[in-house]
Amino acid sequence: MKHSEYKIWFDSISMEFPGVLAVDDVSFGVMPGVVHVMMGENGAGKSTLMKILNGVNTPSKGKLYVSGQERHFSSAMDAKHHGVAMIYQELSYIPDMTVEKYLMLCNEPKKGCFIDWKGVSREAKKILEEEGLAYDPKMKLRDLSVSDIQLLEIIKCTRGENVDVLVMDEPTSALTDKEVSRLFEKIENLKKSGVTILYISHKMDEIFKIADYITVMRDGKHIKTGKASEFDENSLVALMVGRELSNVYPKETVPIGDTVLEVEHLSSEYSRLKDISFHVKRGEIVGIGGLMGAGRTETVRAVFGIDKFDEGTIKVDGHPVKIRSVSDAIRAGISMATEDRRRLGLIFCRNIKENISLSSLDKISKFKFIEKRKEKQITQMYFDKMGVKAPSINYHAGTLSGGNQQKVVLGKCLMTDAKVLILDEPTRGIDVGAKWEIYKLMVDQARKGMGIIMISSELPEFIGMCDRAYIMNGGRITGELDRSELTQENVVRLAAGGKK
């Protein structure tokens, strides 16, 4: 039989959610001991298909074969018992859990019927030392960055015993270049040991570094599977979006107006920020660049009122504003799309309508009561404007793909009528088609006179979209670059603490 040649065979798999056919009659195979990359726009069905393989979702129809045997996994634990594990795109963790407990979760050493907590500490410390990580095992996850938690999740999953098939859904979305290199070494070692890896990513540069085979999906359907050598970047994009994208970064020159935001001598002992000063003009897209840990996110979190700062002045339209909370920032005309959609951007158990209107309740309320008709009318407008792919505004945010979740977050930001929009890693974990739509949105808002701050770890994106940029190192701004000076060499030099 056909499926017996493959490690995994998807046989006419379909998965239907209320109002959405997420996976539509998909059939293809994955060879044993290879890196098989899954490509497609957000909402193409990649993650849903992988969750079927991992036992999280049950297909509406079709059959799944693993090592030639038909399987019906009832849960992720059931799948792992049969050698299938998955690293998810949206990290799910308990903020108050310690590093050591997280690393050893479901693999705790036992003393009789009880967990050996001293053994947990000992084993976790050993793992951290072997991986060259200087984390305090007693530190809570809430005190770590997204990249730290992502790295711990990868280590936890790849060190598990009996892993025969490993699914990685956007594993590098929050990692530094050094951490990505370490991950690729792990993948190569796993492949040599016979592990089959299914890898979802939207980063073209890394795909061709590690892929043996590539499968492209679009609108829930299987489009093409072939050896990596059969594809190039242009052909992949065309297969994914069903059309050619002629301009990856649709940056336009728009009129630059007066200064809308000034930050002067901002310092924070808590965030390790030292004398940060910068400004943004109407119509400008201003980048804040640097390596992970340079202080980029900490700076914008302070400006948006998430974190406190000790010294400094923030001015909007030339007037000093006191920002002690997020509400203060929104009232002052500042809005922000955070880097962590799951933790700070969305309420997953609420629907799209409630998420979009969350920061603008005063616009849709009368005598402190929400006017439901007005809420529906305004949120529907932003739902349509952002092009969110969902049956309706009553659809739960937690069921959306990463790209559509980000569109909801941006819709929420725009509904506040902000003068300044802060975008922290706005295209993380998003496909090329959705990225292009977000770039166009940035240009459109700049044309309307909005000042935009963008943080991005993808240098081509950072250089392609910014009019001007400030580069940080060690909690300080090390230099300012205008558009003519925005080159990879200049950014990297300043990010490393050098001079322009």
Whether residue 335 is predicted with pLDDT greater than 70 in this model: the reply is yes
Task: Give the model's confidence band at 396: pLDDT under 50 very low, under 70 low, under 90 confident, else very high.
Answer: confident
SS3 348: coil
Q: What is the pLDDT of residues 380-389, one digit of tens each?
A: 999 998 888 8
**Per-residue model confidence (pLDDT) at position 398:** 83
Let me know: does 225 contact 50? Beta carbons within 8 Å: no
Give every strand in the sheet of 273-281, ordered side by side: 273-281, 259-268, 311-316, 319-321
**Per-residue model confidence (pLDDT) at position 144:** 81
Provide the strand spans (E) within 146-284: 165-169, 196-200, 213-218, 221-227, 259-268, 273-281
Six token digits for residue 70: 């038909």
CA dihedral angle for residue 268, residue 310, residue 143, residue 136, rounded to 10 degrees: 60
Q: What is the DSSP letter of 349?
A: T
Residue tagged 């859990």 (tokens): 97
Residue tagged 């932003």 (tokens): 382
Task: Give the model's confidence band at 322: pLDDT under 50 very low, under 70 low, under 90 confident, else very high.
Answer: very high
- What percentage of the chain exceeds 90 in pLDDT? 45
**Per-residue model confidence (pLDDT) at position 90:** 65
CA dihedral angle for residue 97, residue 100, residue 101, residue 106, rounded to 10 degrees: 140
Q: What is the pLDDT of residues 167-184, one digit of tens each?
A: 988 888 767 777 788 788
The span from the CA of 179 to the CA of 200, in Å, is 17
Q: What is the pLDDT of residues 448-485, one digit of tens each?
A: 999 999 999 888 889 999 999 999 998 999 999 999 99
**Distance, C-alpha 288 to centroid of its chain:** 18
**Amino acid symbol at 149:** I
Q: What is the pLDDT of residues 67-103, one digit of tens each?
A: 989 999 999 889 988 889 888 876 667 788 899 998 8
Task: Give the model's confidence band at 246: pLDDT under 50 very low, under 70 low, under 90 confident, else very high.
Answer: low
SS3 239: helix
Task: Give the model's confidence band at 342: pLDDT under 50 very low, under 70 low, under 90 confident, else very high.
Answer: confident
**Per-residue model confidence (pLDDT) at position 107:** 80
Beta strand pairing call for 84-87 and 35-39: unpaired
What average pLDDT does range 218-228 have in this prediction? 92
- What percentage of the chain exceeds 70 in pLDDT? 95
What average pLDDT does range 491-497 have in this prediction? 83
Whether residue 187 is predicted with pLDDT greater than 90 in this model: the reply is no
**Per-residue model confidence (pLDDT) at position 391:** 86
Whether residue 305 is predicted with pLDDT greater than 90 in this model: the reply is yes
Let me know: does 105 contact 159? Beta carbons within 8 Å: no
Name, of 3-12, 145-154, 448-457, the range with top average pLDDT: 448-457
What average pLDDT does range 109-114 have in this prediction? 86
What average pLDDT does range 15-23 have in this prediction? 79
pTM: 0.63
Whether residue 1 is predicted with pLDDT greater than 60 in this model: the reply is no
Q: What is the pLDDT of residues 123-149, one digit of tens each?
A: 889 988 888 878 888 999 888 877 778
Average pLDDT, the chain: 87
Whether residue 20 is predicted with pLDDT greater than 80 in this model: the reply is no
**Per-residue model confidence (pLDDT) at position 165:** 93
Name, of 184-188, 251-255, 461-465, the range with top average pLDDT: 461-465
User: Please, what is the end-to-end C-alpha distance for the chain in angstroms?
Assistant: 63
Q: What is the pLDDT of residues 31-61, one digit of tens each?
A: 999 999 998 876 788 888 999 999 998 999 9
Whether residue 200 is predicted with pLDDT greater than 80 in this model: the reply is yes
Query: Which of these, 418, 444, 408, 434, lies nearest to 285 by C-alpha position?
Result: 444
**Per-residue model confidence (pLDDT) at position 32:** 94
Task: Give the model's confidence band at 160: pLDDT under 50 very low, under 70 low, under 90 confident, else very high.
Answer: low
